[in-house]
């Protein structure tokens, strides 16, 4: 038998004709009434918010966007200022200091936490050494958080062989991490300043703004030129 209290079209028709008694309204508990009211309020707030956005003019929308843009820009500005302050605290060198053996422990091993040290062993009589010292001077101005040092080879290390010059030792927090020994390690007198910068960036010493290995770029150009010469030569 069909439930006379069920919400069906048939029961509704019977109620209209007086065959079934009118449906009794459901009695809600106090908790149910509170929940219904809260849900109604929340739904209205959502709908009102939707209406407000939809009804806003372009100027009003631009104003909201401007406020949001300003908030984002201010957060970025504060973050950037903090980064610059931290960077400035590290940029305390900016020179190539000449040291001797007695300065080694203090200047290299005790350089400090987070400090990269680049030590160049050289002799003024070696042209490549002189060239590298000039490069290192320029790099010290560009990367002031790196500690660049130089030392006459046999003053720093007794009887250090001239055939190993130039030599660059790279330290981080007092520990040797990399070494470049002898002219071949630098490409002899063909070495360029940006090539040395790239090598140091590959070691993690500094963050370069160079986009690719300058030496590789030159090699690619030379190879391309040679290939062109071979293709255009009827004798091959």
- Integer angstrom CA distances of residue 177 from 169, 202, 235: 8, 12, 51
Residue 152, H or E segment: strand 147-152
What pLDDT sits at residue 191?
Answer: 92
For residues 45-54, b (16+ Cβ closer than 10 Å) or e, as one string?
eeeeeeeeee
d(CA 208, CA 113): 21
d(CA 220, CA 73): 43
- DSSP string over 165-222: -SEEEEEETTEEEEEEESGGGGTGGG--HHHHHHHHHHTTS------S-HHHHHHHHH
What pLDDT sits at residue 214?
Answer: 85
What pLDDT sits at residue 4?
Answer: 60
What pLDDT sits at residue 130?
Answer: 97
Q: What is the mean pLDDT of each run of 10 residues along the chain (236 residues)?
A: 63 65 63 65 54 60 66 72 70 90 92 93 96 97 95 93 96 95 94 95 94 70 44 47
Decide: 168 and 119 in contact? Cβ < 8 Å: yes
Residue in the structure block whose two tokens are 């360029």: 192
Closest CA to 154 of 145, 146, 164, 144: 164
């Amino acid at each position: 038998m069909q439930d006379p209290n069920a919400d069906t079209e048939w029961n509704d028709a019977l109620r209209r004709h007086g065959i079934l008694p009118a449906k009794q309204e459901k009695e809600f508990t106090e908790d149910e009434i509170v929940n219904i009211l809260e849900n109604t309020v929340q739904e209205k707030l959502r709908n009102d918010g939707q209406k407000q956005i939809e009804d806003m003019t372009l100027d009003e929308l631009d104003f909201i966007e401007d406020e949001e843009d300003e908030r984002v820009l201010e957060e970025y500005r504060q973050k950037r200022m903090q980064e610059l302050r931290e960077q400035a605290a590290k940029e305390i060198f900016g020179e190539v200091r000449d040291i001797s053996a007695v300065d080694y422990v203090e200047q290299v091993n005790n350089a400090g936490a987070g400090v990269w040290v680049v030590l160049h062993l050289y002799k003024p009589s070696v042209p490549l050494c002189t060239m590298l010292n000039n490069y290192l001077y320029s790099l010290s101005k560009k990367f002031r958080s790196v500690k660049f040092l130089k030392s006459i080879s046999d003053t720093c290390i007794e009887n250090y062989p001239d055939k190993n010059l130039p030599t660059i030792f790279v330290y981080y927090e007092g520990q040797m991490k990399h070494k470049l020994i002898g002219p071949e390690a630098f490409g002899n007198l063909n070495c360029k300043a940006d090539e040395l910068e790239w090598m140091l960036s590959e070691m993690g010493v500094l963050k370069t703004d160079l986009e690719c290995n300058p030496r590789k770029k030159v090699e690619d150009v030379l190879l391309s030129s040679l290939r062109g010469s071979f293709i255009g030569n009827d004798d091959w």
